[in-house]
Amino acid sequence: MYKKLIAYSNKIFNLFSIIASITDERLKPQIDTVKIVAAIVIMQFTNLGSLNSLSQEIAYKNFKKDIPSVSTIARTADSLNLEEIRGVGIEIYAKARKKKMLEACYEMWVGVVDGHEQIVSPYCKCKYCKSRIVTKKGGVKETQYYHEFTAFILAGPKISFILDIEPILPGEGEISSSYRLIERVCKNYPRAFEIVIGDGLYLKETVFNLLEKHNKHAIAVLKEERRQLSQEANSLSLLSEPKVYRQKKTYYRVWDHSIEGCWDGYGKGVRVIVSEEATPKRVHSKDGKSFEDRLNRANWMWVTNLPCSDNLDDLKNTVRICHSRWQIENQCFNETVNTWNADHVYRHSANAIIVFLLMLFICVNIFNIFRIRNIKDRSIKTKIYLIELINAGFHATRRPLPPIPIPI
- Residue 237 near residue 229 (C-beta atoms within 8 A): no
**Min. distance of Cβ 125 from Zn ion in angstroms?**
5
Q: Which is nearer to Zn ion, 129 or 319 (CB)?
A: 129
For Zn ion, the closer of residues 274 and 342 by Cβ is 342
Least distance CB 376 / Zn ion (angstroms): 43
Nearer to Zn ion, 124 or 380 (CB): 124
Q: Closest approach of Cβ 348 to Zn ion, in Å?
A: 6
Q: Which of the ranges 3-11, 14-22, 123-131, 256-264 carries the binding residues for Zn ion, by CB under 5 A?
A: 123-131
Give the binding range for Zn ion (CB under 5 A) out of 88-96, 124-132, 269-277, 384-392: 124-132
CB within 8 A of 226, min separation 6: which ones?
200, 203
Nearer to Zn ion, 129 or 159 (CB): 129
Q: Which SS3 state, helix, strand or coil, does residue 258 take?
A: strand
Q: Does 357 bind Zn ion (CB under 5 A)?
A: no
Can you give the length of the chain in residues?
Answer: 408
Q: State the minimum distance, in angstroms, from the CB of residue 236 to Zn ion.
A: 48
As measured in angstroms, the least distance from the Cβ of 165 to Zn ion is 15
Contact 271, 304 (CB under 8 A): yes
Nearer to Zn ion, 53 or 144 (CB): 144
Burial class of 180 by CB neighbour count within 10 A (0 to 12, 13 to 18, 19+):
middle
Give the C-alpha separation, 197 to 316, whole Å: 16
By beta-carbon proximity to Zn ion, the closer residue of 129 and 355 is: 129
Task: Collapse the DSSP code of 255 into the 3-class scheme (helix H, G, I; strand E, B; otherwise coil) and give the result.
Answer: strand
Burial per residue of 140-159, b for 16 or more beta-carbon CB atoms within 10 angstroms, e otherwise: eeeebbebbbbbbbbbbeeb
Closer to Zn ion by Cβ: residue 119 or 319: 119
In the bound state with Zn ion, the residue whose beta carbon lies nearer, of 305 and 351, is: 351
Taking CB under 5 A as the binding criterion, the range among 6-14, 125-133, 355-363, 376-384 that sits at the site for Zn ion is 125-133
Round to whole Å and give the CA distance between 398 and 178.
Answer: 44
Do 321 and 105 touch, CB atoms closer than 8 A? yes
Q: Work out how close the CB of 128 gets to Zn ion at its nearest, in angstroms, rounded to a whole number.
A: 5
Supply the minimum distance, in Å, between the C-beta of residue 132 and Zn ion: 13
How many CB atoms sit inside 10 A of residue 80's CB?
Answer: 25
Nearest one of 249, 211, 36 to 111, comparing CA atoms: 211
For Zn ion, what does the binding mask look like between residues 126 and 145, x meaning CB under 5 A? x--x----------------
Q: What is the largest CA-CA distance in the chain?
A: 74
Using the rule CB under 5 A, give the single segment among 67-75, 118-126, 367-375, 392-400 that binds Zn ion. Answer: 118-126
CB of 119: closest distance to Zn ion in angstroms? 8
- Min CB(173)–Zn ion separation in Å: 18
Count interface residues toward Zn ion (CB under 5 A): 2
Q: Which of 301, 315, 297 is nearest to 259 (CA)?
A: 301
What Rg do the C-alpha atoms of the chain give, in angstroms?
A: 24
CB closer to Zn ion out of 144 and 397? 144
With CB atoms as reference, the residue minimizing the distance to Zn ion is 129
Residue 135 CB contacts under 8 Å (≥ 6 apart), including other chains:
141, 142
Taking CA atoms, 91 is separated from 21, 94, 178, 329, in Å, by 11, 5, 23, 25
**Mask for 175-194, x = binds Zn ion (CB under 5 A):** --------------------
Which residues form the interface with Zn ion (CB under 5 A)? 126, 129
